Amino acid sequence: MAIMLTQAPKGTRDILPEDIAQWNYVEQKFSELCKKFGYKEIRIPVFEHTELFQRGVGDTTDIVQKEMYTFKDKGDRSITLRPEGTAGVVRSYIEHGMGSLPQPVKLFYQITAYRYENVQKGRYREFHQFGVELLGAADPSADVEVISMLALYFEQLGIKNLVLNLNSIGCPKCRSAYNEKLKAYLKEHLSSMCETCRERYERNPMRILDCKEEGCKLRIKDAPALLDHICDECRDHFSKVTTRLEAIGIPYNIDKGIVRGLDYYTKTVFEFVSKNIGTQGTVCGGGRYDGLVEACGGAPTPGIGFALGVERLLLEMQSQGIELPKAETPHIYIGAIGEKAALMCERLAWQLRRNNIFCVKDIMNRSVKAQMKYADKLGAHYALILGDNEIENNKAQLKDMRTGETKDISLDTLIDRLVKHRG
RNA sequence: GUGGGUAUAGCUCAGUUGGUUAGAGCGCCAGGUUGUGGCCCUGGAGGUCAUGGGUUCAACUCCCAUUAUUCACCCCA
């Protein structure tokens, strides 16, 4: 089979001009909101050293085990296209000594990410994420700030009925104690469980709770839940988070099953889930990762963040019938008949554009009728055609394309009038 | 990695039990006016019917494979 020159690779897609306005809209809204909370934008590389993700995301995760786009560059370095944003941001935090900045350090980003997975609704191999990382703050207020940002973002976009699922997966201390309890419970059932679960039993028993195999689900149902076995400190942290969420009126649902995909998550984990955009309903996921900076070679630093799937966000907005902005249309179209008029058209359009007016002019040398049709299709508010009469009298008919009315207007005052009447 | 659906024009789709020049609507271009869009009318461009093989006198139509796409499993944003 010949390589498909005319087809984008599997799992990638073009965002076409007709859809750009809605992307710009959600991007701008997100960026404004982040700034109001004191977050600063950061831009990180599309690729990093493979080892960063192995450490930062975790060797036992599906992401690292089977979903990364990894290749050798010409210097024989192993390079990986970022499968998410947190690892890169944490690397940057360490590399640039951000631990010496006034704490906490609050960052946001809008990135593409890459995972080699089979494509389905709401899931692509190249996808877009908005994310936030809050580094240096261990207090439960930090968890609440990050979650409340999301709640406010959805509110501002007019999105309703997303469910906030919340859980705590404890700290390394209580988790290892819990893991022992879990292993003790699972030990007698192990022979009847699936192969991957038997492997997880050794490497990362908590992930067994995520298994969807029927046989395993049966065993898991009555397994001890981590949330019921976390240490006093983690319990206190979690209860402060929920108390504060209640204080500002953000509803949540405790879901003891949330584990999250990254190994370094600690304490609070959460996701915002939709029911109506297919089975990939997690619009946004995040959590606390107090061990991550240290694991990547920095000083012990608490952190919390989230990533929001933009494709899923837009799917959700569409499914809720939320009206999204469309591209701006020209304020005026200027056409011309004949060479003399074309020269005048050139000058006029130039002046309009220097005055910041959205102006489209004829560059096809077409008939008047074709030009008017074109102006109509562009959605221009006004149209104006220059010809011999206009040159002679220095006047033209300014046509309002919505009402069809025309007005005689002196070309000298055209710009003033358009500036005044704009918008 | 696994399973199901789908593949005909730029888009949405027809195409009879297999039958000769593959159609429609929308969109695009042009004309119907001598210098003015929308409605209407006329004309035009645009398809190796996803690709490769097979059955047949004959395949868009039946069979097989491949690829793409889509939905789902796994997992995640």
Q: The complex's ipTM?
A: 0.90
Q: A240-269 pLDDT, tens per residue?
A: 999 999 999 999 999 988 877 677 789 999
Residue A177 covered by a domain: no
Residues A382 and A300 in one domain: no
- The sheet with strand A40-41 has its strands ordered as A40-41, A105-114, A126-135, A303-309, A282-288, A266-273, A163-168, A253-254
Q: Which residues pair with A41 in a beta bridge?
A: A108
CA distance A369 to A207: 67
Whether residues A246 and A279 fall in one domain: yes
Cβ(A88)–Cβ(A246) below 8 Å: no
Q: Based on the domain organization, do A95 and A137 belong to the same domain?
A: yes
Contacts of A316 (CB under 8 A, 6+ apart): A159, A162, A274, A276, A277, A283
Closest to A358 (Cα-Cα) out of A336, A332, A377, A382? A332
Q: Which of A295, A319, A343 is the last residue of a domain?
A: A319
* A255 CB-to-strand B distance under 7 Å: no
Same domain? A350 vs A307: no
d(CA A186, CA A163): 31
Domain count, chain A: 2
Same domain, A119 and A94: yes
Write down the mean pLDDT value for chain A: 91
Nearest to A264 by CA among A308, A224, A294, A231: A294
Q: Report residues of chain A scoring pLDDT below 70.
A: 1-4, 210-215, 217, 261, 421-423
C-beta of residue A375 within 8 angstroms of C-beta of residue A335: yes
Q: How far apart are CA A179 and CA A60, in angstroms?
A: 15
Contacting residues 183-212/A vs strand B (CB within 7 A)? 210-212
Q: The domain spanning residue A377 has which CATH number?
A: 3.40.50.800
A:117-176 Cβ neighbours of strand B under 7 Å: 117-124, 127, 129
Tell me, yes or no, whether A260 lies in a domain. Answer: yes
A381 contact to strand B (CB, 7 A limit): no
| Same-domain status, A348 and A300 | no
Q: Answer for A307: CB within 7 Å of strand B.
A: yes
- pLDDT (0 to 100) of residue A107: 98
pLDDT by residue (tens digit) across A7-44? 889 999 999 999 999 999 999 999 999 999 999 999 99
Gyration radius (Cα) of chain A, Å? 28
Residue A396 belongs to a domain: yes
User: DSSP labels for A394-417?
Assistant: TEEEEEETTT--EEEEETTTHHHH
CA–C1' span, A117 to B52, in Å? 28
Q: Is residue A291 part of a domain?
A: yes
Domain boundary among A296, A319, A342: A319
pLDDT of residue A219: 72
Q: Which of strand B's nucleotides are less than 7 A from any protein C-beta?
A: 1-3, 27-33, 35-38, 51, 66-77
A82 touches strand B (CB under 7 A): no
Final residue belonging to a domain, choices A319, A353, A368 = A319
Contact A80, A238 (CB under 8 A): no
Asked if A152 and A250 sit in the same domain, the reply is: yes
Nearest nt to A273, CA vs C1'? B77
Q: Which of residues 391-410 of A touch strand B (CB under 7 A)?
A: 396-397, 399, 401-404, 406
Q: Identify whether A83 is part of a domain.
A: yes
Residues A247, A163 share a domain: yes
Q: Find the domain containing A365 and state its range.
A: 332-421
The answer on A296 and A407 residing in a single domain is no
The Cα–Cα gap between A49 and A88 comes to 10
Task: Identify any residues that bridge with A72 across adjacent strands, giving them in sequence order.
Answer: A78
CATH number, domain of A280, equals: 3.30.930.10
> For position A423, what pLDDT does the model report?
41
CA of A2 to C1' of B62 (A): 27
C-alpha to C-alpha distances, A98 to A43, A92, A107, A409, nearest whole angstrom: 15, 8, 11, 60
- A356 and A405 in a single domain? The answer is yes
Domain for residue A10, yes or no? Answer: no
Residue A219 within a domain: no
Query: In the prediction, which pLDDT does A1 show?
Result: 38
Residue A136 and residue A37 share a domain: yes
The confidence score (pLDDT) of residue A261 equals 65
Query: Tens digit of pLDDT for each residue in A286-340?
Result: 999 999 999 999 999 999 999 999 999 999 999 999 999 999 999 999 999 999 9
Give a yes or no: residue A221 inside a domain: no
How far CA A28 is from CA of A32, A116, A126, A224, A304, in Å, comes to 6, 29, 21, 44, 23
Q: Are residues A152 and A288 in the same domain?
A: yes
Residues composing chain A: 423
pLDDT at residue A184, rounded to an integer: 83
